[in-house]
Amino acid sequence: MNIVMGADGFGFDLKEAIKQHLLEQGHLIDDLTPVKENEVPYYEVGALAALKVQQGKAERGIIFCGTGMGVAIVANKFRGIYASVVESEFAGLHCKVINNSNILSLGGMIVAPYRAKRIVDQWLAASFTEGYPEFAPFLTRALAEIKKIEAETMK
């Protein structure tokens, strides 16, 4: 899978651990912040990653800052981007299955590398509505309604 990644200074070390993990699995990584010394503010990281996913230059994105909140707030300003702040494996799976998240946001001050790898693996392996056939019609309608809200509010 083609994945865009980026981090501010607080998320950089966790990004590096996840990047190595994903490269070992054979994923293609577009690293927006390859060098810690050239620190990029969280608001730029979130915007750059969201734009790549929005334009189809990456299938999914994984972004990092201290809490995961800042980069996610920025990424969610882009139409069609559903960035989810995740701190557990359960949430990592379900943000994709239930909410069709296309960007995962992790906090370098909150999530340890071991847990982050498990979260990322769950999220990447999941697909929208997978495992919930009884809820698939509702989830599909909900996503369509979200897109209507986007169209109205993101003019």
Task: Give the phi and the psi of residue 123 in degrees, each rounded to 5.
Answer: -65, -45
| Distance between CA atoms of residues 85 and 72, nearest Å | 7
Q: What's the rounded Cα separation, in Å, for the pair 107 and 133?
A: 32
Rounded to a whole number of angstroms, the distance between the first and last alpha carbons of the chain is 31
Nearest Cα to Cα of residue 84 among 108, 115, 61 = 61
Length of the chain: 155
Active site residue 65: yes
Choice among 32, 65, 83, 98 that is catalytic: 65
Catalytic residues: 65
